[in-house]
Structure 1
Amino acid sequence: MMRLNLLPWRERQRRSMLRRFQWMLLGSAALALCAVMLIDQLARQRAQQQGLNTVSRHSAIALLDEQLEQHAEVRAAHDAAQAHAAVLASLRADQGVFPALLSDLEAALPAGLQLTELTLVGGRLQVTGQAASGAVVAQFMRDLERSAVLQGLELKRVKHLPSGDEFVLAARVSAFWS
């Protein structure tokens, strides 16, 4: 009977398998290293792209901030112009009050009455004058009550003098005067 020694053949098979395993391990390690390097490169590119996007967005935001600042300046100038226009409109509206007041006083002035002083302070008019009698003062007050400019007419005092009656009337001017 013949005896075959299979030990060298098994040894060669084992070495061959071990070399294949080592080559596969080395190939897998190289493949894994390539995959890691590829993923790293992609991550770096992504980070660089995000950095560029961030820079472009910051520049866009800076541009919008500059435009917003210009818009705020224009809005402030517009608001100031509107306030100025409102003041001018109120002055124009009050422009006719003083001539209308003097016109109403002139129209209501009866014979025998003389005005000595007109005082306009804070929208309140004070009229001082002399009249021939109390009836003339009463007629003057009735005529002034029909005025559209004066409101709340009241007689403050009447003083009897040998030359006539001295009176003081007070009224509120309907338009705002300061």
Structure 2
Amino acid sequence: MGIEINLLPWRQAQRERRGKRFNLALGLMAVLGLGVGYAMTFYYDHQLAVQQQRNDHIRTALTRLERDIRTISEYETARDALLAKIDVFTELQQGRPQTVHVFNELASRLQEGVQYSRLARQEARLRLEGQAEDNYQVSNQLRALEASAVFGVPVLSEVEGTEQDQRRFALSVAQRLPGEQEEASP
């Protein structure tokens, strides 16, 4: 007869131990998976919050830069306006003695028998209206103005006779700038 060994309970116990270990490993893996998932979620949420802070900082800096750019633009506009005013003042300062010089030159070049009745200025061009006793005096007046270093070549626009045997005339002449006057003097 032989000895009979029944391995069925031992196999059953081993199967239960393996099942428990499997369930325990499965449970540990599930807990570990949930922990890793939670940690990843926390990490990404933290990274998102940090990026939001960076974005907010950039928006704040951008708003400040836009405000500074507007301020600089306003300063540039004010500077341009001031420069324009300075240019006008400089031009007026430089033109002040020039106007006196023009009037002195007109008076010194006035021919005998010629009278000016109207003087108008448009930029650097003078328009003169006046009377003379005859055409010869009008011609002499044109030559006298042309010989001046202050004036360019005069252009006679009209001459007409009046009832008192006088000649009414109108002419225009360009005023030379100070640099041009020095060139025309010799």
Query: So what's the TM-score if we normalise by structure 1?
Result: 0.83
Aligned to 1:117: 117
CA distance in 1, matches of 2:176, 2:22: 107
Aligned to 2:139: 138
CA distance in 2, matches of 1:160, 1:63: 76
Q: What are the equivalent positions in structure 2 for 1:8-27 lying under 5 Å apart?
A: 8-27=9-28
- The answer on whether the counterparts of 1:94 and 1:175 sit within 8 Å (CA) in structure 2 is no
The structure-2 alpha-carbon separation of the partners of 1:43 and 1:78, relative to structure 1 and needing over 3 Å to count, comes to same
Which segment drifts farther, 145-154 or 67-76? 145-154
Aligned to 1:67: 68
SS at match of 1:2: coil
How far residue 160 of structure 1 moved from its aligned partner, in angstroms, is: 6.8
The structure-2 alpha-carbon separation of the partners of 1:17 and 1:32, relative to structure 1 and needing over 3 Å to count, comes to same
Q: What are the equivalent positions in structure 2 for 1:84-163 lying under 5 Å apart?
A: 84-111=85-112, 113-122=113-122, 123-131=125-133, 133-155=134-156, 156-159=158-161
* Cα RMSD for the two superposed structures: 2.4
Q: What number of residue pairs does the alignment pair up? A: 173
- The answer on whether the counterparts of 2:145 and 2:153 sit within 8 Å (CA) in structure 1 is no
The structure-2 alpha-carbon separation of the partners of 1:127 and 1:101, relative to structure 1 and needing over 3 Å to count, comes to farther
How far residue 43 of structure 1 moved from its aligned partner, in angstroms, is: 1.1
CA distance in 2, matches of 1:126, 1:116: 7
Q: What residue identity is the alignment partner of 1:126?
A: L
Aligned to 1:46: 47
Q: Point out where structure 1 has 5 or more consecutive residues left out of the alignment.
A: none
Q: What residue identity is the alignment partner of 2:127?
A: L
Aligned to 2:81: 80
Query: So what's the TM-score if we normalise by structure 2?
Result: 0.80
Q: What are the equivalent positions in structure 2 for 1:164-175 lying under 5 Å apart?
A: 165-174=166-175
Q: What residue identity is the alignment partner of 1:64?
A: L
CA distance in 1, matches of 2:28, 2:116: 120
- The answer on whether the counterparts of 2:115 and 2:131 sit within 8 Å (CA) in structure 1 is yes
SS at match of 1:5: coil
Determine what percentage of the aligned residue pairs are the same residue. Answer: 20
Aligned to 2:184: none
Q: What residue identity is the alignment partner of 1:67?
A: D
SS at match of 1:172: strand
| Structure with greater strand share of residues | 1
CA distance in 2, matches of 1:93, 1:26: 98
- The answer on whether the counterparts of 2:117 and 2:130 sit within 8 Å (CA) in structure 1 is yes
Higher relative contact order (CA 8 A, sep 6+): 1
Q: Point out where structure 2 has 5 or more consecutive residues left out of the alignment.
A: 178-186
Which segment drifts farther, 152-161 or 25-34? 152-161
CA distance in 2, matches of 1:24, 1:93: 100
CA distance in 1, matches of 2:176, 2:64: 49
SS at match of 2:111: coil
- The answer on whether the counterparts of 1:158 and 1:168 sit within 8 Å (CA) in structure 2 is yes
